Amino acid sequence: MGFAPRGGATARKEWYDRNPAVRFLQYSADGAAPHTDTERWNYTIPTGKKAFAEASELEIVRATAASAAGLVMCRVNYRPSGGIPYRLLTLRMRTNGVGDARLIQLGHSVTLLAGDALYGYTADQSTGGTMDYTETVKITEFDA
Amino acid sequence: MDMPKIRVKLLAPDAEHDSYHVHLPTYTMVAGSLQPTIPDKTHANGVYPNAELTPAEKARLTVEVEVPTDECDEKGKLDIAKIRKKYHGQPRWDKPDVLSDV
C-alpha cells in the first residue's frame, strides 16, 4: 500500500503564492472641521481576484473643542457583490475634551470575493471644533 | 504604491448612497482637497452638517483622489476600457457610461 504524495505537479498554489499584491486603504486628516457623512475611500475586488482584509486601524482624536459637540464617527462598511452595505467597524465619540480619542487596532481576516467592496467614512455632527482622523485597512489581493 | 491623482466630482447622497461620495470602484480621497469652499456650507474636508446646498452648488463640488495605476492610461487619466476589463462582469462598473458621474 502506498500513499499518494501531497500536492504534485498540478497542485494549486496557496493563496499567498498566487500573484499576491498588497493594498493599503488609508485616509488621514488632521484638524478637519465638522462635516456630514463622507466616503473617504472605496475598494472593489477586481474580477478574477479574491482578497483578505488583514488589519485595520481607525482613530479619532478631538483637536479643538466644539461649541456644541455632536456625534463624531469613523467607520468601515462591507458590501458583498450585488448586496447591500453592512457596517463592519465603527468608532463613535460625543465628548468634547481636547485630546479625547477613540481607537480600534484590529488584526483579522475578512474574506473578500470579486465584486465585494469596502468603504471608509467619516462624519462629525458638531458645531465648531476640529477632529483628527486615521482610517486604514491593509489588504492582500490574489488570483482567485 | 504610487497612485495617480485626479480631480473628480464629489457626489451628494442619493438613493444608493447615504453619504457624499465618488463614483469610482477604487479610490482614496486626498485630505483637504474639497473645492470650492462655500462660506458656511463647505470646507476643505467636507460639507458642514445641516448645510443646504443648491443643486448648482452640489454640481460644483470636486475632490482630489488617488486611483490605481492599472485603471489609468499612460497620461494618468482614467481609462474606461481598463476599468471595464478589470471589473468585467460586475454590473456597477462594467458598463459604457461607467465614468459619466466622475
- Confidence band of A9 (pLDDT split at 50, 70, 90): low
Contacts 24+ apart (CB under 8 A), A87-93: A88/A118, A89/A56, A89/A58, A91/A58, A91/A59, A91/A60, A93/A60, A93/A62
- pLDDT of residue A5 exceeding 60, the answer is no
ipTM of the complex: 0.94
Q: Which CATH number describes the domain made up of A25-137?
A: 2.60.120
Put simply, whether A67 touches B (Cβ < 8 Å) is no
Residue of A24, A25, A37, A71 to mutate, interface with B, max B Cβ within 10 Å = A37
Nearest neighbour of B87 by CB, restricted to A47, A70, A122: A47
Q: Which residues contact B30 (CB under 8 A, 6 or more apart)?
A: B5, B63, B64, B65, B66
Distance, in Å, from the CA atom of B102 to the CA atom of B99, rounded to the nearest integer, reads 5
A69-75: average pLDDT: 97
Contact list in B for residue A123 (CB cut-off 8 A) is 19, 49
- Note whether A56 and A105 are within 8 A (CB): yes
Indicate yes or no: CB of A29 within 8 angstroms of CB of B32: yes
Q: Which of A26, A39, A82 sits opposite B19 (nearest CB)?
A: A39
Q: Is B29 exposed, middle or buried (0-12, 13-18, 19+ CB in 10 A)?
A: buried
- Which residues in chain A touch residue B17, judged by CB atoms under 8 angstroms apart? 39
Cβ separation of A44 and B87 shorter than 8 Å? yes
Which of the residue ranges A43-47, A50-54, A134-138, B98-102 would you say has the lowest mean pLDDT? B98-102
Check CB contact under 8 Å for B31 and A39: no
3-state secondary structure of A56: strand
Q: Are A82 and A57 in contact (CB under 8 A)?
A: no
Residues 39-98 of B with CB under 8 A from A: 43-51, 86-93
Over residues A32-61, the pLDDT tens digits come to: 999 999 999 999 999 999 999 999 999 999
Tell me: the pLDDT tens digits for B36-68? 999 999 999 999 999 999 999 999 999 999 999
CA distance B98 to B71: 12
Say how many C-beta atoms besides its own lie within 10 A of residue B90's C-beta: 21
Q: Which of B2, B21, B24, B28 to probe the A interface (max A CBs under 10 A)?
A: B28
Beta-strand runs (E) in chain A: 21-32, 35-44, 49-64, 72-79, 86-93, 101-112, 117-124, 130-143
